[in-house]
Amino acid sequence: MNTNIIVKEIFYESPEYYLELELRNEVLRKPLGMNLYDQDLSTEKNYIRIAAFDENQQILGTLILVPQENGVIQMKQMAVRESAQGMKIGKKIIQFAEDLIISKGFSKIILNARKVALPFYLKSGYEIQGDEFQEVGIPHFKMSKIVK
């Protein structure tokens, strides 16, 4: 697979947005027997979106950032295409997200991490906040990170 990765902010209802939806559905929802398109996606209109693409504009990974109050932003829906896993796509997306968050004046990131993703987030400097809980039928942990 190509290693020229472009990470960028993408926007609601842009062509990249529809690629992002397809990837999120494929990686995060279908394996759980769910369909992303069953949700009201208009609620995501003001979310910040980040995606990684190869030089052929194939989407490789994505995440969503949801502004909260008091300088806090929530990271959601982190997904990397199965064929691109192990290429440090997630690391590149997280670094881009953290830089963007800082530039927009946010200072703390919160997220609900799937238990299987804990090692990735711990290695990226996120800390577990509390006990394991269930979300969409699978184990998760609340995590956070202060960014400067």
Predicted confidence (pLDDT) at residue 102 exceeds the cutoff of 90: yes
Average predicted confidence (pLDDT) for the chain: 93
What Rg value do the Cα atoms of the chain yield, rounded?
Answer: 15
- Domains belonging to the chain, first-starting first, are 6-110 (3.40.630.30)
In percent, the amount of the chain with pLDDT more than 90 equals 84
- Can you give the length of the chain in residues? 148
What would the two tokens of residue 49 be?
């979106």
Average pLDDT over residues 58-78: 96
Confidence (pLDDT) at 43: 87
Confidence (pLDDT) at 86: 85
Alpha-carbon span 134 to 45, nearest angstrom = 26
Confidence (pLDDT) at 85: 86
Average pLDDT over residues 2-24: 91
Confidence (pLDDT) at 3: 64
Q: What single string gives the DSSP state of each residue in 71-134? A: TEEEEEEEEE-GGGTTSSHHHHHHHHHHHHHHHTT--EEEEEEEGGGHHHHHHTT-EE-S--EE
Are 147 and 108 within 8 A, CB to CB? yes
Position 127 confidence tier, pLDDT thresholds 50, 70, 90: very high
Confidence (pLDDT) at 1: 46
92: Cβ–Cβ under 8 A, 6 or more apart, which residues?
A: 5, 7, 52, 61
pTM of the model: 0.91
Alpha-carbon span 19 to 138, nearest angstrom = 25
